Amino acid sequence: MTARRFDAVIFDLDGTLLATEQMTIETGEAALARMGRVAPDGLLASLVGIDEPTSRGILRDHLGADFDFPHLDRMWAEAMIERRDRDGIPLRPHVHTLLDALRVAGLPFAIATSSTGDQAREKLAAAGLTDSFDIVVTRSDVPSPKPAPDVYLLAARRLGIEPARCLAFEDSDVGAIAARAAGMTVVQVPDMVPLSGENADFLATDLIAGARGIGLLAA
């Protein structure tokens, strides 16, 4: 019998399991438009996978330090909630197929996300995934968000698995850096932003292709 390469799988949330990136960009652009501002081309897409303090700094550089960010936050959040409540949150391709395969194989899995605890719970509920994950580690649970490895290390600890025996699925470079820094094997499945894959062990077009390419599932 061939030895199993991985003992657990840890997923990023936004852009990896959930197709939230386009929603975030579109609602952000709408919020800015309501404030009489137009986001420079590619600005909001460049924030994909970046933690909130860092992304706020980038926005401040483009919009000015005196921009009314609290008002933008409120309008953006309202637009996201309206969109989520109206349409739900779609999944990235093959999410249920991969989770079902992991259950059959007896491999535990978890989430490690840069979302806050409240945000993660709301998103999982809107996507119909609340009951799929017993372990959800968020930036509310750790000292430092991605690209620090904290969320991945805590997820592995809660799973009771050594990080080196964990496979991480990510969409962003920031997340891939975090998972690699935690000592995990990294499959990167880009969403909105094309990536070189230099921070990943395998760059895939979708979750199933990544799982097969890295040897998690039979080809």
Q: Are residues 55 and 99 in the same domain?
A: no
> Do the domain assignments include residue 44?
yes
Among 61, 87, 113, the domain-final residue is 87
Question: Which long-range contacts does 145-150 make (Cβ < 8 Å, 24+ apart)?
Answer: 145/51, 145/52, 145/53, 145/114, 146/49, 146/51, 146/114, 146/174, 146/175, 146/177, 146/178, 147/174, 147/175, 147/177, 147/178, 147/181, 148/178, 148/181, 149/178, 149/179, 149/181, 149/182, 149/183, 150/178
Could you read off the pLDDT tens digit of each residue along the chain, which spans 219 residues? Answer: 346 899 999 999 999 999 988 888 899 999 999 999 988 888 898 887 676 788 889 999 989 989 999 999 999 989 988 898 899 999 999 999 999 999 999 999 999 999 999 999 999 999 999 999 999 999 999 999 999 999 999 999 999 999 999 999 999 899 999 999 999 999 999 987 778 889 999 999 999 999 999 999 997
Per-residue confidence (pLDDT) for residue 1, from 0 to 100? 36
Which of 7, 14, 85, 134 is the catalytic position? 14
Write out the residue range of the structural domain in which residue 190 sits.
8-19+90-214
Interval 46-82: pLDDT, tens: 887 676 788 889 999 989 989 999 999 999 989 988 8
Question: DSSP secondary-structure letter at 40?
Answer: P
Whether residues 151 and 81 share a domain: the answer is no
- Looking up residue 29, the CATH number of its domain turns out to be 1.10.150
The C-alpha R_g of the chain, in whole angstroms, comes to: 17
pLDDT at 101: 97
Q: How far is 187 from 204, CA to CA, in rounded Å?
A: 7
Catalytic residue, candidates 7, 12, 131, 191 = 12
* 66 annotated active-site: no
Structure confidence at residue 194 (pLDDT) = 76
Please report, for the domain that includes residue 131, its CATH number. 3.40.50.1000
**Residue 140 shares a structural domain with residue 192:** yes
Q: Are residues 159 and 96 in the same domain?
A: yes
Last residue of a domain, one of 87, 111, 136: 87
Active site residue 12: yes
Let me know whether 149 and 166 are in one domain: yes
Q: What's the pTM?
A: 0.85
Residue 26 within any structural domain of the chain: yes
* Residue where a domain stops, chosen among 43, 66, 87: 87
The reply to whether 168 falls in a domain is: yes
- One domain, residues 42 and 141: no
In a domain, 60, yes or no: yes
Q: Is residue 175 part of a domain?
A: yes
Per-chain mean pLDDT for the chain = 92
80 and 101 inside one domain: no
Asked if the structure places residue 1 within a domain, the reply is no
80 plus 117 within the same structural domain:
no
